[in-house]
Amino acid sequence: MPGLAVEDFVCKVGDEEALETARSSIEFAQWAASQVRDLRKLEFQVADKGVSRVLVELHNNGLFAAGLTVVGTLCYMAWLNELGAKAVAARTQDIDLARRRNLKLAARLPFLETVQATRLKFFAIPGMPSHAPSTSVKLPGREGLRVDVLAPGEALGTVVPIPELAWHAQTIPHFDYLLHEPREAAILAGGHCVPVSLPQPERFVWHKLYSSASRQSFPEKAEKDLMQAITLAAILTEQQDEILADSLQDAPSSMTAIVKKRLPAIRRALSGQPQVLEQFELALG
């Protein structure tokens, strides 16, 4: 469980250099944790300790540097922080990870073993149908933290192999658009500030709107996607005019056609923010 005390070997007796290195690492970790606590008080978005342990393990193994990207609500939380914006605190029990192409790893890095190295009791969720390979891991309990691995694909939910992770991923349409040229950023979680890779925020807006329009059978998730998209769009419009329309030019026409279905909902949600609505009208009109 997060916060579980463990003992690790640091050095032999008399190895002062290694001991000083360990002490410095502990002092830095304590300083970083205090900074994150202060940022939380300032209403920055901070994920919980379980999320931090997974992200730290992935970072330490070089997976974000190799091309793994954080998507979903954690991405939204991180961009709020990066853009210096306040919003209602987001919460998620999911870590959504995606890769656009083969990760640049020197050797295969089994995904299940990597997340289990956190000392959290992750188990592989059985695939659907039962003979399908797993694409997700989870902690015990109904509300246990879940980690999903995703990849681009024409159909939703097709299972594809990720050989370099000895794992599989579920495909999401138009993820190739979302994951184009991701950016370096950081996620605050637990007592850590973890360097990660995130999709470009404007592409995140458009793909969230696409997801919202595609999730009409799940109205709560569709509404969540819509609100994340327009919140981030409002921030981007205030800081960088016309960036939304520019970024949609690279989207496939099939994706844009579905996004346009959300224009009435966008108009209702942004009735009091004409400047932001103008950007959507310009892009989708």
Whether residue 205 is found in the same domain as residue 156: no
Residue 81 lies in a domain: yes
pLDDT at 209: 96
Q: Which of 198, 224, 247 is the last residue of a domain?
A: 198
pTM: 0.88
The kind and range of the H/E element at 228 are helix 219-239
For 272-283, what is each residue's pLDDT tens digit? 899 889 889 988
Which tokens sit at 235?
């921030």
Q: Minimal CA–CA distance to 203: which of 178, 236, 229?
A: 178
Whether residue 269 is found in the same domain as residue 156: no
Whether residue 163 is found in the same domain as residue 210: no
Whether residue 158 is found in the same domain as residue 39: yes
The DSSP letter of residue 125 is: P
pLDDT at 5: 59
Whether residue 81 is found in the same domain as residue 160: yes
Q: Which of 147, 180, 198 is the last residue of a domain?
A: 198
Nearest-angstrom CA–CA distance, 20 and 218 = 54
Whether residue 207 is found in the same domain as residue 189: no
State whether residue 193 is helix, strand or coil: strand
Whether residue 141 is found in the same domain as residue 245: no
How much is the average pLDDT of 106-122?
96
Residue 152 lies in a domain: yes
Residue 5 lies in a domain: no
Q: Taking 60 as the threshold, does the pLDDT of residue 250 lie above it? A: yes
Angle at 71 between CA 114 and CA 230, to 5 degrees: 160
pLDDT at 231: 94
The DSSP letter of residue 172 is: E
The domain in which residue 120 lies consists of 16-198
State whether residue 57 is helix, strand or coil: helix
Report strand pairing: 167-172 vs 136-138. Answer: unpaired
Nearest-angstrom CA–CA distance, 138 and 276 = 38
The amino acid at 30? Q
Whether residue 204 is found in the same domain as residue 144: no
Whether residue 163 is found in the same domain as residue 215: no
Which tokens sit at 9?
């070997």
Residue with tokens 């290195």: 21
Q: Which of 137, 163, 198 is the last residue of a domain?
A: 198
Nearest-angstrom CA–CA distance, 237 and 243 = 7
Nearest-angstrom CA–CA distance, 114 and 281 = 45
pLDDT at 183: 96
Residue 259 lies in a domain: yes
Nearest-angstrom CA–CA distance, 269 and 212 = 14
Whether residue 141 is found in the same domain as residue 125: yes
Which tokens sit at 268?
């209702």
The DSSP letter of residue 73 is: H
Helices 201-214 & 219-239 angle (0-180, nearest 10) = 150
The pLDDT mean for the chain works out to 89
The amino acid at 9? F
The DSSP letter of residue 154 is: S
Whether residue 238 is found in the same domain as residue 250: yes
DSSP H helices in 13-110: 16-41, 49-60, 72-82
Residue 4 lies in a domain: no
Domain count, the chain: 2
For 54-104, what is each residue's pLDDT tens digit? 999 999 999 999 999 999 999 999 999 999 998 887 778 899 999 999 999
Residue 94 phi/psi, 5° resolution?
-125, 140
Residue 140 lies in a domain: yes
Whether residue 165 is found in the same domain as residue 258: no
For 11-53, what is each residue's pLDDT tens digit? 777 777 766 776 776 776 776 778 878 777 888 899 999 999 9
Report strand pairing: 94-98 vs 69-71. Answer: antiparallel
The amino acid at 45? Q
For 126-180, what is each residue's pLDDT tens digit? 877 777 899 999 999 888 999 999 999 999 999 999 999 999 999 999 999 999 9
Residue 255 lies in a domain: yes
Which tokens sit at 36?
């994150």
